[in-house]
């Protein structure tokens, strides 16, 4: 009988008490919460970085395209140029039999569009960003004509919102 009681006592010592189980579940829950929070934070940071990169790349690319066209243009076509549209007279993209042609930059919806004469407008910014401001200011100093470009590009992917405003000035090169 004493031997049976000793065996029962040993069996009780091998198991876990309810308090031990509750404490181990609490510790595991705290560790799991910390790990999940870390991964969610990393994902949010990654989305914000991607959004920032997308906005910056679109704004930079659009500004470079507009600047390139200004520098290679013959003149600014003032009858259709306004604060929100830039029209350039150029000898590039010539239709058959023409010596001059015109290209326009303007806001179409939430994108910057380039329209070559007698062609449909083409968006030069992606659909994943919105251009909220596009402004042109013609600056003339003597014989040199320049155009100041100001644009603001936004993106709102999930909870990460990004915005960039760029300003540049380009001069027409008369060769």
Give tens-digit pLDDT for 36-65.
999 999 998 888 888 899 999 999 999 999
Residue 159 located in a structural domain: yes
Residue 4 located in a structural domain: no
Q: What is the pLDDT of residue 119?
A: 87
Beta strands in the chain (DSSP E): 75-76, 85-90, 101-108, 111-116, 122-123, 130-141, 144-157, 160-171
Q: What is the pLDDT of residues 56-114, one digit of tens each?
A: 999 999 999 999 999 989 888 888 888 899 999 988 877 677 778 889 999 998 999 99
Q: What is the rounded CA–CA span in Å between residue 1 and residue 8?
A: 11
CB 55 within 8 A of CB 129: yes
Residue 10 located in a structural domain: no
- Residue 108, SS3 per DSSP: strand
Q: What is the pLDDT of residue 59?
A: 94
Q: What is the pLDDT of residue 141?
A: 77
Mean pLDDT of 105-131: 92
Q: Count how many domains the chain has.
A: 1
State yes or no: pLDDT of 1 exceeds 60: no
Check residue 100 and report its DSSP letter: -
State yes or no: pLDDT of 8 exceeds 80: no
Residue 77 located in a structural domain: yes
Neighbours of 171 (CB within 10 A): 14
Q: What is the pLDDT of residue 15?
A: 78
Residue 155 located in a structural domain: yes
Q: What is the pLDDT of residue 173?
A: 82
* 127 CA to centre of own chain: 10
Residue 108 located in a structural domain: yes
Q: What is the pLDDT of residue 130?
A: 92
Q: What is the pLDDT of residue 79?
A: 84
In terms of residue numbers, what domain contains 123? Answer: 51-171
Residue 103 located in a structural domain: yes
Percent of the chain exceeding pLDDT 90 equals 55
State yes or no: pLDDT of 6 exceeds 80: no
Encoding tokens for residue 158?
């999930």
Residue 88 located in a structural domain: yes
Long-range Cβ contacts of 87-93 (<8 Å, 24+ apart): 93/117
Mean pLDDT of 130-142: 89
Encoding tokens for residue 128?
């994943």
């Amino acid at each position: 009988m004493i031997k049976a009681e000793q065996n029962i006592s040993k069996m009780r010592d091998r198991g876990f008490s309810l308090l031990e189980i509750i404490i181990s579940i609490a510790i595991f829950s705290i560790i799991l919460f910390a790990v999940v929070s870390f991964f969610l934070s990393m994902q949010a940071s990654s989305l914000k970085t991607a959004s920032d990169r997308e906005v910056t790349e679109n704004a930079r690319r659009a500004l470079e395209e507009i600047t390139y066209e200004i520098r290679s243009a013959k003149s600014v076509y003032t009858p259709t140029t306004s604060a929100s549209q830039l029209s350039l007279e150029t000898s590039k993209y010539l239709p058959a039999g023409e010596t001059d042609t015109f290209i326009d930059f303007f806001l179409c919806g939430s994108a910057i569009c380039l329209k070559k004469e007698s062609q449909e407008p083409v968006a030069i910014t992606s659909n994943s960003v919105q251009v909220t401001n596009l402004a042109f200011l013609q600056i003339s100093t003597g014989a040199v004509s320049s155009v100041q470009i100001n644009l603001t590009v936004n993106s709102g992917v999930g909870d990460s919102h990004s915005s960039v405003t760029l300003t540049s000035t380009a001069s027409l090169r008369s060769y």
